Structure 1
Amino acid sequence: MSEHIIKATGRNVEGKGASRRLRRAASIPAIIYGGKSAPQPVQLDHEKVWLASQNEWFYSSILTLDVDGKSESVLLRDMQRHPFKQIIMHLDFQRVDQNQALRVAVPLHFLNEDKSPAGKSADVVVTHELNEVEVSCLPKDLPEFIEIDLSGLKVGDIVHLSELKLPKGVEIPELKLGKEHDVAVVIAKHGKEEAETPVDAPAADVPAAKVSKKDDDKK
């Protein structure tokens, strides 16, 4: 597991006004919470974090926040983005206890699909039903991604969640809930099967329902 270090600075002033001033100064307000320590407000350099956020490890790996020279092992738990500008508005980081199991969504990497019998066939469609999977493990065992070798994939094949090869110490909590949770991850089928799938008949015209005040308040 690679170490990803991100520098941060502690901050004493909080509130919307302080956060706006930070953003104007090309910094990101953030909070570190969890563990036995009190929540700690910090700020990070926007440009460096923006570049880091273009990598999938930023969302699924344990990060090392260097806060004024003191290291904190954390996971990114929430990111608020500007609705239309390329601006990160706020970040939430959760402290990591090395002795406590984590639940983290890990990306799936699909390998050798183009070399498989299904991938080489022009009339076969290979669909990825999932692009990530939630795993449970100790921090030291957390993988940055899980690889799925599709070199033997043939038309009609379905790769299920239970067939994923997990690193030692890693498990998928979803599978403990029953067979119905062993969902498809990859499906290979003839393209014409999709074309022949019957389309539901259009629903009858129904007058638009009135929006209740409760629903309206959610908007």
Structure 2
Amino acid sequence: MAASERQSCSELRDAVVVQEGTREAPQDIKMALYKHGQLIPSLGDAKFRSPITPQVIEKKFEYYRNNETLNTHGMLVFGTCSGLSGIMANLVFRNSFKVKYEALKTYASLTTLPFLATIVTYKLFVTDALKSGNLSKESCVLRSSLVGVACGVSYPSALAFYKNGRLAVKYQTVPLPPKGRVMLHWLLLCQTGMKAMAIPLFFQILMGVFSGLHHYGVFEKTQARSVPDD
């Protein structure tokens, strides 16, 4: 008899616990639980933190946009230096060939083409390589310097030599070279001007080193922290 009463009380207590557990379930969801010694955030906390997520994403994109702006400005400055080098190369070789015709045409091409060539080459061989993560600091500086030498000095010098040489032949501003020694004749005629191109060569190497260090520093900061500090 006592055993049956004890069993009935136990069943009644289980029913009450089940009923209370069913009634208290929404309250348990709102409470924080501990699992493996770590605090599991409640549903209310998650709802409270959810509006912050768009702000974090917006800050991240703003940080990346600022870095892209810095990279773009750096490439534009580098390209501008190449354009100025092209202007100097055109001036030097026009004086060497004593050309006074079609000045606007030659200056426009000698300014625009080195500028565009520097930006495109720098983006392909330096910026994109940095983004892929396959470029060390030394390689970044070396590539940047080579871009400055190739696109900022060699290319505009060769272009100015070719264009003004054609104008010299067209308008006969200098004596025509003997047959079979054309290139040697033109090089001897322009050797003083070619020495003057050592000035933009120095500045292009210096600008290449500075630009490579700058862009590598921006890349390291971007990798170190994905979200900027407040």
TM-score of the aligned structures, taking structure 1 as reference length: 0.25
**Which structure has more RCO (C-alpha within 8 Å, separation ≥ 6)?**
2
Query: Which structure's CA Rg is the greater one?
Result: 2
Higher share in strand:
1
TM-score of the aligned structures, taking structure 2 as reference length: 0.24
Higher share in helix:
2
